[in-house]
Amino acid sequence: FDNSASSVAMSKKGNYILAGSDDHGVYALDSDGQLMWKHNAKGAITSTAVSKFADYLVAGSQDGNIYCFNIGGKETWIQPTGGSVVSVTVDLRGTTIVGYSQDGHLYCLDERGTLLWKHKTDDPEGRVSITDDGQLIMCLVGSGRNFIVTREGGLLMEFQTRESTWGAMFAGD
pLDDT in tens, 20-31: 999 999 999 999
Helix %, strand %, coil % of the chain (to 5): 0, 55, 45
Residue type, 112: R
CA distance 16 to 133: 21
Structure confidence by residue, pLDDT tens digits, 127-144: 898 988 889 998 888 888
Show me where the domains of the chain are located: 5-124
The CA-based angle 110-111-112, given to 5 degrees, is 90
Tens digits of per-residue pLDDT, 38-61? 999 999 999 999 987 657 899 999
Per CATH, is 5-124 categorized as 2.130.10.10?
A: yes
Nearest CA among 26, 35, 36, 29 for reference residue 14: 29
What pTM was estimated for this model as a whole?
Answer: 0.89
Q: Rounded to an integer, what is the distance from CA 137 to the centroid of its chain?
A: 12
Q: Where are the alpha helices (DSSP H) in the chain?
A: none
